[in-house]
Amino acid sequence: MKLLKLIVLGASGPYPGSDDLPSILVVYGRNTLLLDAGEGVQHRIKKSGYSVAKVRIVLISHLHGDHVLGLLPLLQSRSLGGCRDKIYIIGPPGIREFIEDNLRILKFEPLYDIIINEVLSQELVIDNVRIYSFPVKHVLPTLAYVVNIDSIKLTYVTDTRPLSVFPDAAARPDVLIHDSTFAFDMKDKAEEYGHSTSVDAAEAARNLGAKLLLLYHISPRYKERSQLLYEARRFFSNAYIAEQYMKVVIIKRSARL
């Protein structure tokens, strides 16, 4: 039986002092994969009961601070803990400079190899993990990712205006994680800032043939998020709000909370 586990380490838009910044841990076998690395992510991994030493792959969507400022502390924590296993980091152009400049400034030499891939539209295979990246429509170069592990597919689309067309590789995911920063009545604001609404996310899930939708990167202005969930479920019934430390277990081709 093939089993995959998603743990939402953070799912909010940025705000001062937040510990809920975007990061999702994907647990497969004895290793883990990280989708984005919001500030403090190494502490949230530990709080979830997992080790930073087991993070094998990190996929960075873009270089806004709420998605990347936890990356260097994560790399340091792995090394300080004695980890010698290499790590793969995939991200948009600029991710290599970001990592190498920070390592140089901090005078930090990790105990392990860091393998960096700058990509736009590309397919990579690392161990038994097949990763496909494609660009989306944010205010700076931003990637979405399709992750295939043991016939289970995740499509991760954060920080983007609505997409009219998706690549075939993104279709029919077991779980779609999609930017839902604003409710529908703030659609103009979403467009201005390069984001999507909960309705946009639901329409993407319906068009892609997703099995499960997680509404993600919700603005902290929404203390009560029921409006976003109600709007999304009008178009896609199997939608849920991504809440911090929520776990999603995927067994073969079915997903359950």
**Mind listing the pLDDT tens digit for each residue in 203-246?**
999 999 999 999 999 998 887 889 999 999 999 999 999 999 99
Are residues 9 and 255 in contact, defined by beta-carbon separation less than 8 angstroms? no
Q: What's the mean pLDDT in 124-134?
A: 95
Whether the predicted pLDDT of 25 surpasses 70: yes
Give the pair of three-digit tokens for residue 51: 């080790």
Domain ranges, residue 155? 3-251
Instruction: Please count the other Cβ atoms lying within 10 Å of the Cβ belonging to residue 246.
Output: 16
Are residues 228 and 183 in contact, defined by beta-carbon separation less than 8 angstroms? yes
What's 245's domain CATH number? 3.60.15.10
The answer to whether residue 108 sits within a structural domain is yes
Q: Which helix (H) or strand (E) holds 233?
A: helix 226-233
The C-alpha atoms of residue 28 and residue 3 are separated, in whole angstroms, by 7
Residues annotated catalytic, as ranges: 66
Between the alpha carbon of residue 78 and those of residues 58, 129, 146, 147, the distances in Å are 13, 21, 26, 23
The answer to whether residue 29 sits within a structural domain is yes
Tell me the pLDDT of the chain averaged across its residues. Answer: 93
The answer to whether residue 257 sits within a structural domain is no
Predicted local distance difference test score (pLDDT) of residue 253: 52
The C-alpha atoms of residue 214 and residue 242 are separated, in whole angstroms, by 5
Predicted local distance difference test score (pLDDT) of residue 158: 93
The pTM of this model reads 0.95
What's the structural domain count of the chain? 1
The answer to whether residue 123 sits within a structural domain is yes
The answer to whether residue 221 sits within a structural domain is yes
Q: Quick one: which of 17, 28, 14 has its CA closest to 148?
A: 28
The answer to whether residue 44 sits within a structural domain is yes
Between the alpha carbon of residue 133 and those of residues 34, 145, 215, 217, the distances in Å are 15, 5, 20, 19
Give the pair of three-digit tokens for residue 196: 């999507």
Whether the predicted pLDDT of 16 surpasses 70: no
Between the alpha carbon of residue 82 and those of residues 23, 85, 100, 102, 104, the distances in Å are 23, 9, 20, 20, 20
The answer to whether residue 130 sits within a structural domain is yes
The answer to whether residue 107 sits within a structural domain is yes
Whether the predicted pLDDT of 96 surpasses 80: yes
Residue labelled with tokens 């097949």: 130
Tell me the pLDDT tens digit for each residue of 138-158: 999 999 999 999 899 999 999
